[in-house]
Amino acid sequence: MKNPDNLVRVGGVGTGRIFQHAHLRTYPRLWDRARLVGFYDVNRARAQDARDKYVTMLEDWATANPLAAESARANIAELRVFDSLNALLEYVDLIDVCTHAKGRMETAIKALEKGVNAMVEKPMARTWIEADRACRVAAAHPNVYLALNDDNVYDPKYRAVHDLLLQGVIGNVQTLTAIRGSRLNATSVLKSQASALDNGGGCLMDYGSHGLAGAWYALGTHLKPVKVDAVQIAVLFRNRVLEGDPYVMEVDDNARIKILFEDPQTGRWVTMFLETTWCGGHIGLDKEKNGGQNGGYLYLTGDQGVMNATERTKIVTTQWDGGESTALLKEYEGETISMAHEVEIMVDCVRNKRPPQIDVRYGAEVIAMVESAYLSALKKRPVTLDEFKEYARGFVKKYGDNEQAEEALLSELLAPYKAKE
């Protein structure tokens, strides 16, 4: 630790919307384990704004929590806005990376090489090439940790599904069907997310990476993603409004894919069917289904029953023999609890020198599943993750392990979704 009291010193990198409205509010309540002490953004004014908002949060926290008041005041005194990433890395033990997808892995790799732990927002990288490079760097620095911050993994619903499946309530899982996404009139999709070169894809990279990360955890991380089949990846609405402006979509806005997960020990497999969308979900007979995180469509079948985890406040399991049980869920506002859990767990990993479970390798496999789906659509057949990885390595062999290879890969995978001239 960079201070003697065993508090993890954290720096925010990329201090815009997600950082300010989701991550920032987590840190005051970690006062006895961690301190957010530094801010860096390519837009210095944005970093300053994040710092000023955090000062207000700490002042409010000190008023409401007298036992933490002294710590809050000490935290305010040491807050700094930095003009470079390197300067921030000299000041902290852990960075919280909320930049655009482009640059996340470069930032994380710099941190690892300087002995600083990192956690990065989803998607972990624009391409598997970047994520694989980070895996190799992480392997060379085993005492420094890199975690994926995908809050779906830490969402109470996905955690509850995971625990119920461990109890065997529906026996051996056979299928999982899910929708993750937003409705057509939602304002949550940003221009940067609809940029192939900034985000690495469209809704499939955005909400698809969310759905895959959360569902894989719920099913069990002992399973291995093996094969992906793109049922349909499309642009349903070419012209739409993003951030208040007319926008021509050049990436997918709706995708339906199948993923085969295999248990290496038993040979059993689970098939996941995922619709990911910026247009509203349409799996099944209903006209439209909710793709929201807390209330998103989530349905599992097993050899002993079924589980319906679609509703916000309960999970209903029905056994083939007629038995039924309901697990009640506490309802939280937005993503407050899952965002807090992902940060808190990584702080504890750093303090206790314990590698995170949802690490860079997990994040890299999620990216590999997404890009395998794009390759499947391109080849018009299912592809294995191993086949995709060999395909991606071909770009590295041709261009080198660099941005040119990454963008050449993206250009080929996402070419079908560009508007025709």
CATH 3.40.50.720 residue spans of the chain: 8-152+337-364
Give the other-Cβ count within 10 Å of 73's Cβ.
12
Q: Which CATH class is domain 153-194+203-334?
A: alpha beta
Helix axes 360-379, 385-399, angle to 10 degrees: 90
Other CB atoms within 10 Å distance of the CB of residue 6: 10
Homologous superfamily, domain 8-152+337-364: NAD(P)-binding Rossmann-like Domain (3.40.50.720)
DSSP summary character for residue 238: S
CA distance 243 to 177: 31
> What's the DSSP call for residue 81?
E
Distances (CA, A) of 322 to 174, 194, 319, 326: 19, 46, 5, 14
| Helices 403-413, 128-140: crossing angle, 10 deg rounding | 140
Residue 84 corresponds to which tokens in the numbers above? 């470079």
List where CATH 3.30.360.10 sits in the chain. Answer: 153-194+203-334
| CA-to-CA dists, residue 304 to 178, 221, 260, 300, 321, angstroms | 20, 21, 20, 11, 8
Residues recorded for the chain: 421
Question: What Cα–Cα distance (Å) separates residue 189 from each residue in 166, 278, 342, 419?
Answer: 35, 8, 22, 19
Q: What is the pLDDT along the chain (421 residues), one digit of tens a residue?
A: 776 678 999 999 999 999 999 899 999 999 999 999 999 999 999 999 999 999 999 999 999 999 999 999 999 999 999 999 999 999 999 999 999 999 999 999 999 999 999 999 999 999 999 999 999 999 999 999 999 999 999 999 999 999 999 999 999 999 999 999 998 888 889 999 999 999 999 999 999 999 999 999 999 999 999 999 999 999 999 999 999 999 999 999 999 999 999 999 999 999 999 999 999 877 665 666 676 656 678 999 999 999 999 988 999 999 999 899 999 998 776 667 888 899 999 999 999 999 999 999 999 999 999 999 999 999 999 999 999 999 999 999 999 999 999 999 999 999 999 988 6
Burial of 220 (0-12, 13-18, 19+ CB in 10 A): middle
- Burial tier of 262 (Cβ tally within 10 Å: 0-12, 13-18, 19+): middle
Strands 305-308 and 314-319: antiparallel
Q: Is the peptide bond before 382 cis (omega within 30 degrees of 0)?
A: no
Q: What is the pTM of this model?
A: 0.96
For residue 388, CA distances in Å to 56, 262, 358, 365 come to: 48, 17, 22, 11
